[in-house]
Structure 1
């Protein structure tokens, strides 16, 4: 769920307080071409992503890991083709559904230009290779969701 500013999402606490728990986006299947809506449950995906970032951040060396660069895509619910559902990414960069892409761990489907747009509007360094701007995008979204938890060493408490 986007906030009013470009490349910004509401905090996890805000989303839960406003009962926004399913984040939905459009996806077409690469095989059968069927287009449908897919959703991710906030309470399931946020802890999973933040845990991954917390556990692996020191080994990333400011670069996105392969799992982010070449994400495993969801399976098609129509033809059951594996790794075939790619997110629809808005042509207008200001309309990109950043939270949906984060929860689906599909930010790697964005182009370098789209990722640079995110970094520009979140005041992150926007130059460099795609793995660098992808890393900054993941961390930037994690900060927006639940600052500063992705960088704390304490336990996760998502029952806000």
Structure 2
């Protein structure tokens, strides 16, 4: 009984030693960090033979103790892993390269803020000096087209007794009556039979018609010629009797136009826009706008020449 007790006691001592070694091995392994444990795996292959030899010795010792004491299974001792060696070279010896950043501002040489220096490598911002805004002097408006063109004078030959030597200007009503010029004539041509002949108007009668029409309708015209002026009714041809067919003959040269005859017959609407602008140009009237605007100014301008005191102001 004494021998059996001694044998059990020895077996228990052996197991306690094995457990103690396991705990020490586990503690030592737990104290290592994960980085050292991963690095140690790299050296397992190189130290494989050393570990195998050590394991064989431990197994033999354990086998001998187990055979002498009690039939127990051999216990494999986990070897203490070696930590990976640190690099012998200092960290300062490793080259450190900084990435090269692109230039923050890349401008073409033709850019407004690009300044080329002597070495052509410097970019300098340009600050534009803004001068204080100064009020521009007022420029008087002038209309050079109101004057006659180059080589043309203000005076022209008076082709009619009721005309003056000034362009687009006629004599006054009182002057004509005083000179006993009461019949105003002009050339017309029939659009049907194409007969050309001279037509006459009575100055007093026809001018009174125009005078009364303007006095009665001026307020409703709104500075525009009415339709009866824009599309005048032509006289009846005395040869073929065709109504609305005797059209006034207007010469090509504007200085030869019979303005008073066209006014008394209310035939100024037969003039072109260019001819009406010619009248406004030489009578100092505004000559831009539509035809009804310029035609209205022509009627009022001629009437004012005949009767400066009449209701013909704009």
TM over 0.5, shorter chain: yes
The 8 Å contact of residues 40 and 103 in structure 1, kept in 2 or not, is answered as yes
Is 1:78–2:239 an aligned residue pair?
A: yes
The 8 Å contact of residues 189 and 197 in structure 2, kept in 1 or not, is answered as yes
CA distance in 1 between counterparts of 2:253 and 2:311 reads 29
How many aligned residue pairs are there? 152
Determine the structure 1 residue equivalent to 2:83. Answer: none
Mark the structure with the bigger radius of gyration. 2
The Cα shift of 1:48 comes to: 0.7
CA distance in 2 between counterparts of 1:102 and 1:41 reads 12
5+ residue gaps, structure 1? 153-160
Indicate the SS of the match to 1:77. coil
The Cα shift of 1:150 comes to: 2.7
Determine the structure 2 residue equivalent to 1:25. Answer: 186
Is 1:142–2:296 an aligned residue pair?
A: no
Determine the structure 1 residue equivalent to 2:248. Answer: 87
The 8 Å contact of residues 187 and 197 in structure 2, kept in 1 or not, is answered as yes
The Cα shift of 1:115 comes to: 0.1
CA RMSD of aligned residues (A): 0.9
Once the two structures are superposed, residues 21-64 of structure 1 have per-residue CA deviations (whole angstroms, 9 ceiling, x without a partner) of 11110101000111100010001001110110111011000000
The Cα shift of 1:84 comes to: 0.2
CA distance in 1 between counterparts of 2:310 and 2:241 reads 36
The 8 Å contact of residues 301 and 312 in structure 2, kept in 1 or not, is answered as no
The Cα shift of 1:90 comes to: 1.3
CA distance in 1 between counterparts of 2:267 and 2:291 reads 14
Determine the structure 1 residue equivalent to 2:260. Answer: 99
Is 1:127–2:298 an aligned residue pair?
A: no
The 8 Å contact of residues 51 and 150 in structure 1, kept in 2 or not, is answered as no
Matching residue within 202, 206, 216 for 1:41: 202
| Divergent runs of 4+, >2 A | none
Is 1:8–2:157 an aligned residue pair?
A: no
Determine the structure 2 residue equivalent to 1:54. Answer: 215
Normalised by the size of structure 2, how large is the TM-score? 0.48
Answer 1 or 2: higher relative contact order, Cα 8 Å, separation at least 6: 1
5+ residue gaps, structure 2? 1-161
Indicate the SS of the match to 1:39. strand
CA distance in 2 between counterparts of 1:151 and 1:114 reads 21
The Cα shift of 1:149 comes to: 1.0
Matching residue within 278, 284, 296 for 1:117: 278
CA distance in 2 between counterparts of 1:129 and 1:91 reads 22
CA distance in 2 between counterparts of 1:150 and 1:141 reads 12
Matching residue within 62, 66, 84 for 2:227: 66
